[in-house]
Each structure stands twice: as C-alpha cells, then as structure tokens.
Amino acid sequence: MAEASDSAGSPTIYCYNCGAVMEATARFCQECGAANPRLMSGQAFAGSAGKPVRTDHIKRRNMWVQVLLAIITLGIYTIYWFHVTLGELYRANDTEDRRRWLWTVLYIIPIVQLFAYWHQGHQYESFVDGKYPGIAIFILWIVFAPAVWFLLQRDLNATAEGNQR
C-alpha cells in the first residue's frame, strides 16, 4: 500500500496489488480483493462490529496442494479444511469457537449440511466486512462449492501474506 494525504490531511491509501484508492481502514481492496497489509499485520484492529480482531493465526495454504489432497483422500481433506478454516474465521471475527466441531459434523451429513454452509457463509461475510453477502456464499455453496473454497481460501491466503509483511 502506498500512502499520500488529501487536502483534509487524512491519508489516502493505494492498493499494493492494483493501485486503486481505498480507505485506510478497509480490510480488503474493493477493486481486486487484496488484503490491506497495514491492518493484516497480526495486530489487533477493529472489525466490522468494532471488536478487536487478530489475523496472525491465519495460515497460507497452496490451492493446488489442497485440490490434490482432496482427490487423494477422496474428499476427506475437505472436511478437515472446513473445520480449520471455520476456526480461523471464528478467531478473526472474535466469535466463540466451542461449536466448531458441531458445524463440522453437520457439514458431513447430507441435507443438514445446508445449515453448515449457511453458518460458514455468514462467518465469511463478517471476515470480509460484507464484501460477499452470506446468502450469496450460501447459494454458491449449493450451486458450485469449489468456488466458495477458492474465494474463501484466496482471502485467507491474502490475509496470511499480509501478516508476513
């Protein structure tokens, strides 16, 4: 991110990825979705609900390795992925984590898994400050689940990379 000041003296932030102007307090660029490394540095900052949020726990995962693991394990890796990423979302959103196992079990059970999709979609919506509505993520889970996998992991990876800066 590059920084300048406007006539009012407040800093103008430019995205390091695409160069678009963005708010200094935005977690992600509205144009390309890249994380704001000033906020994603593992330091506590205020999230959409005004609560302190930490992102230093988020791990970068290679998408191709994940696809390979999902194929080799005949989909069992996706259960692990759901469980771990839901925990990362909980921690980043400052949400209590005690029901993560329940949501993971629901994720495995046909028909009932729709509730797990709904839950993770809304956790993801909170994580990206409404960049993607929870209902849209829920529908995408039903229509084409790999797209949710890609979007969620892309944003988690962008956050993890911002933590390394």
- In SS3 terms, 70-81 reads as HHHCCCHHHHHH
Q: What pTM, to 2 d.p., does this model score? A: 0.69
Q: Which two tokens stand for residue 152?
A: 């969620």
Q: What digits encode the pLDDT tens for the residues 113-134?
A: 999 999 999 999 999 888 999 9
CB atoms under 10 Å from CB of 53, counted, come to 21
> For residue 1, what are the β-bridge partners?
none
Report the distance separating Cα 128 and Cα 122, nearest Å. 10
Is the model more confident about 56 or about 64? 64
Q: Is the CB of residue 92 less than 8 Å from the CB of residue 53? A: yes
92 bridge partner residues: none
143 compared with 4, residue with greater pLDDT? 143
Among 134, 105, 110, 125, residue whose Cα is nearest residue 27: 125
As a whole-number percent, the residues of the chain with pLDDT over 70 amount to 78
